[in-house]
Amino acid sequence: MNEDRLFLCHEDEIEDPGSRGFVFPDMEKGRLFLVKKHGQLKGFINSCPHTGAPMEWKAHQFLDIENQFIQCALHGALFDMQTGECLRGPCVGASLKKVNLVVDGQAVYWERNQ
């Protein structure tokens, strides 16, 4: 078992498009989320670059109503689902911090030390 990899979920547990959050309270930066669109998964630390607040509207809801952008629940900023860059809102040009993912079969892991 690779201790640098932390199992998150199975790929088919996230709708396309969709999102899912994860909380690991015993870890620094232990809040992250995944987004899926057109079969591609991306992972980000769950912290708005503007305020540091968690991004979700409710459990596992990180996307806008049209499932086109990541949207901050606090101030409505919109972020690109591929890059995490803020496209609209008070932090335009800033980006969400990406996390490294490894997909092994259907299993999705957070590669923590990459």
Q: How many domains does the chain have?
A: 1
**Tens digits of per-residue pLDDT, 14-39?**
999 999 999 987 776 679 999 999 99
What are the DSSP calls for the chain, one per residue?
--TTEEEEEEGGGS-SSEEEEEE-TTSTT-EEEEEEETTEEEEEES--TTT-----SSTT--B-TTSSSEE-TTT--EE-TTT-BEEESTTTT-BPPEE-EEEETTEEEEETT-
CATH code of the domain covering residue 43: 2.102.10.10
pLDDT computed for residue 43 by the predictor:
97
Structural domain boundaries, residue 92:
5-111
**Tens digits of per-residue pLDDT, 89-98?**
999 999 999 9
